[in-house]
Amino acid sequence: MSSNRSPMEGMFIAVTGPSGSGKTSICKALLETFPHLRFSVSLTTRQPRPAETDGKDYHFFTVDEFTRRVRAGEFIETASVHDHLYGTLRAPVDEALAAGRDVLLNIDTQGSRSVKALFPDCARVFILPPSWKVLEERLRARAQDGEEVIARRLANARGEVARLPEYDFAVVNDLLE
């Protein structure tokens, strides 16, 4: 992934965007459309949501186990997002890239920066909602988080969008299709 990367190796596509921007749906659609893409399943210490499957959407871990793996050097990057820990595992990603697969990451702004610093060829994409109003409506419509969580996610979104100029691509997600 550095400048001496073999042309046969895959590359990173890092998708970032505020909670409610629709980036997870976009990642799912990309994976269905481009079968050569491999999704990097992150580790997280947050609780699974009802529709999520352990090992597919995330690997759900305790803080102790997550911290042990950090010390063991198992991550490319880690970040604390909305009071929970998230991280990208090194081994599955290395394996996919070496096999010539492009790897799709769904990560926050901190993780996106870390990956870019390590792998400058990484393509960074920022997903934007059409407006702040729509973002708030989407977060409420999900009805999976309480008021306090929604308010925190909206506040965090302002900080995330401020980093938009760093990105290679910006996509306004008004209609998923």
Should residue 88 be labelled a site residue for ligand 5GP when binding is judged by CB under 6 A? yes
Whole-number Å distance between alpha carbons of 48 and 84: 12
Pairing of strands 84-89, 75-81: antiparallel
Should residue 45 be labelled a site residue for ligand 5GP when binding is judged by CB under 6 A? no
Considering only residues 100 to 139 of the shown chain, the ones binding ligand 5GP according to CB under 6 A are 106-108, 110-111
Should residue 152 be labelled a site residue for ligand 5GP when binding is judged by CB under 6 A? no
Per-residue x/- track, 7-26, ligand 5GP (CB under 6 A): ------------x-------
Tokens 């604390």, located at residue: 80
Return the number of the residue (10 or 23) whose C-beta is nearest ligand 5GP.
Answer: 23
What single DSSP character describes residue 165?
Answer: G
Should residue 173 be labelled a site residue for ligand 5GP when binding is judged by CB under 6 A? no
Contact indicator for 132, 15 with CB cutoff of 8 Å: no
Number of residues that bind ligand 5GP (CB under 6 A): 15
Considering only the stretches 6-14, 25-33, 73-81, 136-144, report the one whose residues sit in contact with ligand 5GP under the rule CB under 6 A. Answer: 73-81
Whole-number Å distance between alpha carbons of 4 and 110: 25
* Residue 17 Cα distances to 36, 56, 59, 163, 169, angstroms: 23, 20, 21, 10, 12
The CB-of-57 to ligand 5GP minimum distance in angstroms stands at 8
Return the number of the residue (88 or 173) whose C-beta is nearest ligand 5GP.
Answer: 88
- Name the strand (E) or helix (H) holding 106: strand 103-106
The CB-of-49 to ligand 5GP minimum distance in angstroms stands at 8
Whole-number Å distance between alpha carbons of 36 and 32: 10
- Name the strand (E) or helix (H) holding 77: strand 75-81
Considering only the stretches 25-33, 59-67, 82-90, 169-177, report the one whose residues sit in contact with ligand 5GP under the rule CB under 6 A. Answer: 82-90
Which spans of this chain sit near ligand 5GP (rule: CB under 6 A)?
19, 42, 46, 77, 79, 81-82, 86-88, 106-108, 110-111
